[in-house]
Structure 1
Amino acid sequence: MTPEIHVRQDGPRDAPALLLIHGSASSSRSWDALVPLLTGAHHVIRVDLLGHGRSAKPADADYRIPAQARRIAAALDHLGVATAVVAGHSTGGSSATALAEERPDLVTALVLLDSGPSLDTYIAPPLAPPSGEPLTDDEIRAAMATAFSRPGYEPPQELVDDVRAMSFASFAASLQGAREYLTEKPLPDRLTALGTPLLVLFGEDDRRWRPSSALAAYRAVPGARVEPLAGVGHSPMLEDPPRTAARLLAFTARSATP
C-alpha cells in the first residue's frame, strides 16, 4: 500500500468488507456518524483519497478518478481484502464506479449516495478552490452549505478543518478529475456496462444535483435499486445516519459475501 494514503478500519476483520469513499473536499471523517451503525455486520474500511483528509497532498500527483481508484485497490490488496461492497458519496461514487471498472473481481456491489450522474444535472454554484489565503470557518461553512438541507444542521468541525488543510493544487486537480470522468461517460452508462449490483440513495432535497433528473437517470440502469430519501439533502450519512444505515444494511445483507 502506498504510504501516502490514510486508511482506517472498524469492526470485526472477519466480517464482510464494506468500503466507504468520501466526496470532493471531504474526508473519511464524513462517515463518522454512520460507521458505528455498520460495524455490527461489517468490517468497515475508509480511505482518505490522495489530496484529502490525512492523506498526502502532492502538487504534481495524478488526481484523476481512475488513478484514485487504483490507489484504493492497492490499499485493499495490502489489507488482504479479496472482495468488498463499495459505497461512495457524491464524487466518491465516481471513484467507487472506477474501482469496479478497474477491479471487477474486487467489487461485489455498489452503493452510490447522492452521486451526480452527469454534469448536466449539477445545479449548485461551481465550487472554487482555495486561493491561497487562509479561509475562516464561516467562509468554509458558507461554501459547504449546499451539501446539507436539514434546517439548522452544522457540519462537524473536523470536516471544516479538512477543507482548510487542502492545497490549491490538490483541490483544483481533484475537481477537474471528477469533471473529466463524468464528461467522458455518465455514471449510468458506466454502471450499465458493469452490471454490478447497485443501490442508489438520493436525497429529495439535494441542493447540488437535480434530484428528479438524477433519480430518472439511475432508474435506467438495469437491475438498479433507486431509493429517494425524503427530507434529506446531499449528505444523507450526515443528515440522517440511522435511515441511511438501515437502507445500506438491507442492501448489503443481500449482496455482501465473507
Structure 2
Amino acid sequence: MIPLSDWQNQGQYQFINGQQIFTRYGGDKNAPALVLIHGYPSASWDWEGMWDELTQHYYVITLDMLGFGLSDKPKNANYLLSEQADLFETVLDGLNIDSYHILAHDYGDTVAQELLARQVYDSDINKKHIASVCFLNGGLFPETHKPILVQKLLLSPLGFLISKLITKQKFATNLQKIFGPNTQPTPETIDTLWQLLSYNNGLRVMHKLINYIPQRKEHRERWVGAITDSLIPIKLIAGAKDPISGQHMIDRYRKLIPNANITTMPMLGHYPQIENAAAITKAYLAFRERID
C-alpha cells in the first residue's frame, strides 16, 4: 500500500478555474496516456494498488476532483459532473495530450460518460480523442443504481445536517457493507479514506457532492447514449457483490449494450480496485492487449 503521505508528496497541486486541484502523473510520457477517474466519496488514492503496474505500461494521469481528497472543497460550488470533466480536459491540455484512454470508477464513471458524450455528440474539431473506456462499478444507469441509506439521507433536505453527523465509525460501517464479503477494507484503508474525506473539512460538502445522483437522471439520455452510440472499445469490469451497482447493474449493462465486453468479479464488491488490485489490473491489461 502506498501511504497517503507518499501519494501526496509524489503529486502536485494545480490551480484550475480558481481552485487548487491535486494531480498525479506517472510512467513514460511517450507511452499511451491513461486517465484514472475516481469515485465518491474517495479520491485518486483509490488507484494506489494498481499504480505501479499501470505506470509500467502507460503514462498515467489522475487527480482529485473538486470537493474530493486533497483538492479544494468550497462550500458554495455547484459540483456539476460536467465541470469535473472540464478539470480533466484542462489537465490534458496542459500536458499536450490529444489521445487518451480512460479507466473510471463509480462517480468517475459518470464523468467518463460525459467526456465520451462530448466525443460522440459535440462538434469540436479541436477536441481530444478518447481511444477506449473501461468502467468499474458505478451507476451507469440511474434506473439500476441503489443508493445506500446514508446517500438517501444526504440527498434529503436534511442532508447538510446528516453530513455533520458522519463519524469515522459510521463511515467504516458503510464501507464494510459495500465491500465484498471476503475482501473487507483493512484498518489502514479505512484510515486513509477517512483522512481523504476529512481533509479540507470535506464532510461539510458531502451533501452537495451527492447531487451527482439527480444529475445522472437529468442527463440519462446523453450519458447512456454515449456508451451505446460510441464506436470505440468499451469494457466493464465489475464486482458482483456490490449492493449499489453490482450484479443487477451488470445484467442491465448486458441488456442495453450491444456486444457487451464484461468481466464479472463474482466475489468483489463496490471497490474492486481496492479489494483486489491485482485481479483488476490483470483484467484491464488483458482488455488493452486485445485492442492496442
Shared fold (TM-score, shorter chain, > 0.5): yes
Matched, 1:251 2:287: yes
CA deviations on 1:137-195 (whole Å, 9 max, x unpaired) are: 22221232233114343234221111223535532222113431244316543311233
Aligned to 1:184: 219
Opposite residue 90 of structure 1, the aligned amino acid is D
Matched, 1:113 2:149: no
| Gap change, CA 1:210 and 1:233, over 3 Å in 2 | closer
| Equivalent residue runs for 1:219-258 within 5 Å | 219=254, 220-255=256-291
CA deviations on 1:57-80 (whole Å, 9 max, x unpaired) are: 112223111111111111111122
Q: CA deviation at 1:126?
A: 4.2
Matched, 1:143 2:178: no
Moved more, 68-77 or 2-11: 2-11
Matched, 1:84 2:76: no
Match of 1:170 among 189, 205, 223: 205
Matched, 1:21 2:44: no
| Equivalent-residue separation in structure 2 for 1:240 and 1:65 (angstroms) | 27
| Gap change, CA 1:169 and 1:189, over 3 Å in 2 | farther
Q: CA deviation at 1:245?
A: 0.2
Aligned to 2:125: none
| Equivalent-residue separation in structure 1 for 2:132 and 2:213 (angstroms) | 21
Matched, 1:202 2:200: no
| Gap change, CA 1:63 and 1:111, over 3 Å in 2 | same
Number of residue equivalences:
255
Moved more, 137-146 or 240-249: 137-146
| Equivalent-residue separation in structure 1 for 2:52 and 2:139 (angstroms) | 27
> Is contact 1:117–1:182 with CA below 8 Å preserved after alignment?
no
Identity of aligned residues (%): 23
> Is contact 2:137–2:246 with CA below 8 Å preserved after alignment?
no
| Equivalent-residue separation in structure 2 for 1:147 and 1:77 (angstroms) | 36
- Alignment TM-score, normalising by the size of structure 2: 0.79
| Equivalent-residue separation in structure 1 for 2:119 and 2:143 (angstroms) | 28
Matched, 1:61 2:81: no
| Gap change, CA 1:168 and 1:135, over 3 Å in 2 | closer
| Equivalent-residue separation in structure 1 for 2:197 and 2:83 (angstroms) | 21
Opposite residue 149 of structure 2, the aligned amino acid is P
Aligned to 1:40: 56
Aligned to 2:192: 158
> Is contact 2:197–2:203 with CA below 8 Å preserved after alignment?
no
Matched, 1:125 2:149: yes
| Equivalent-residue separation in structure 1 for 2:213 and 2:65 (angstroms) | 13
Matched, 1:193 2:225: no
| Equivalent-residue separation in structure 2 for 1:207 and 1:119 (angstroms) | 14
Moved more, 166-175 or 246-255: 166-175
CA deviations on 1:31-66 (whole Å, 9 max, x unpaired) are: 111111211111111110101011111122231111
Opposite residue 176 of structure 2, the aligned amino acid is A
Q: CA deviation at 1:196?
A: 2.9
When the two chains are superposed, the root-mean-square deviation of aligned CA atoms in Å is 2.2
Opposite residue 236 of structure 1, the aligned amino acid is P
| Equivalent-residue separation in structure 2 for 1:229 and 1:250 (angstroms) | 15
Bigger radius of gyration: 2
Unaligned stretches of 5+ residues in structure 1 = none
Opposite residue 273 of structure 2, the aligned amino acid is M
